[in-house]
Structure 1
């Protein structure tokens, strides 16, 4: 064990010791009410309880971006293969990473974290030394899970994935479709727009009716029903089978459905809803 690994372990244990109170303070600040963790009723309360108390050994397998691929192959078989985003490189050590080996257009993302992504477009790559610095920081920096008390990330091997840059036929980055699956049924579909500029978000029912609900971000535009919606729902429900709740994140490239990731802790259990009552309605689905 290296010194940095030892210190990270000590930091993680101390953080968990004080995590309960810290997470309750963060929850009240971000969500707007005090969480009831003895008798959780809202969606956010139940996510917070999962973070603090539920160490289901399946969580690291489904939530880690690399482990998730093997999990889906085991549970869904060969039929899932066309729905997996290709992985062009897996980087375990910054010392072994050669920026010159990257495709002209690609995406870098850590398999053991959430919300971090580096989009590399043709002719717009950072300098090699800067790319190595980013990869080293992702592989060796503080654990995402430690900062947010998300236990599962401490169990996921630290890796950086290189994936192809996904674009639709118009050359645009694909929309993010996030399907909330409760007890094997999709109950809500979230669509995110312009994540890297002016993030907006829309919520839809499974039969594609836009809901008058905001979740963290400003409301996004109204979309036509995407091609392959039935395939998206079937794939999400199959991937989340056996869980009381799981979010399945998909890309839809003109009807070609790809799995982005599976998520156990949406918004880390601190995503505010307007109206607030919808938080409790979602909690009732769980």
Structure 2
């Protein structure tokens, strides 16, 4: 993936250190932190239930869901993986059979296998439905604010805009003081106009410190809906641990921010 073998005895680059973490940092709590149901309990215990996205219901079996009892806008997804979601709105109602087949396919896959992200190993496979959060723009896709934390300290974040657009999403990176970063992820494009910073930036930084405690590295994702904060997810391995940065030298610069026992 990266064009070279990682040095796991003395890792230096950001992606090398993430591979080391996959192999050697395996706390049982990490399973709860990535499970879409258990993560909400983890967040609620540390910063409060009000910062979690409400849950309509959780099911072990797709056929047990009473779709007639659901609100007109919601999102349905698996609890054990990433990307297996479907959005339902009056403008785009669900094709129940297509959704059944999509989630059935996701249930057959062990998400851990793809890039050996240990926190996903052995997770219980369930289906969760949440209300669709919509901000003042009215768009089905919210802006994401994703904070990279290093040994419990957030260093920078990026803003994801235009998700679901024809051109695809954009990513704009900022240091936590709000100044733009000199780097970006390989292959990602910036927004034509620099997006505004979140109104609750200081609170997101505070929460990132709390939620990333006792980890070497983790990404904390937030939404801001009508000035209210929600934690979207916790991600240990951005891009499976295979996304580098450009300019190239930032792979080592950012890697230096992760302090491991082998450093």
TM-score scaled to structure 1, two decimals? 0.83
- Structure 2: tracts of 5 or more residues without a match: 259-263
Instruction: Specify every segment of 5 or more residues in structure 1 that has no aligned partner in the other structure, as ranges.
Output: 1-25
Determine if contact 1:227/1:254 at 8 Å carries over to the other structure: no
Within 1, Cα distance between the matches of 2:42 and 2:219? 15
Q: Which residue of 1 aligns with 2:197?
A: 225
Deviations 1:47-90 (A, max 9, x none): 1222234322121111111111122233x1xx511111001111
Aligned equivalent of 2:261: none
Corresponding residue number in structure 1 for 2:12: 41
Q: Which moved more, 1:273-282 or 1:128-137?
A: 128-137
Matched, 1:243 2:215: yes
Q: 1:183 aligns with which of 131, 151, 161?
A: 151
Number of aligned residue pairs: give it.
Answer: 253
Distance 1:242 1:62, change over 3 A: same
Give the distance between the partners of 1:144 and 1:98, measured in 2 at CA. 27
> Cα RMSD over matched residues?
1.7
Aligned to 2:121, the other structure's residue is in SS state helix
Aligned match for 2:238, one of 266, 272, 276 = 266
Equivalent in the alignment of 1:254: 226
CA contact (8 A) 2:84 2:103 kept: no
Which runs of structure 2 are paired with 1:1-286 in the superposition (5 Å)?
Answer: 26-28=1-3, 33-74=4-45, 76=46, 79-138=47-106, 140-172=107-139, 173-197=141-165, 198-216=168-186, 217-220=188-191, 221-286=193-258
Secondary structure of 2:21's counterpart equals helix
What displacement does 1:196 show?
A: 2.9
Say if 1:102 and 1:136 are closer, same or farther in 2 by CA, change over 3 A: farther
Query: Which whole-Å deviations, capped at 9, do the CAs of 1:215-257 have from their partners, x for residues lacking one?
Result: 1311224122221111111111111112222111100113211
Deviation beyond 6 Å, 4+ runs, structure 1:
none
Residues 32, 42 of structure 2: 8 Å contact kept: yes
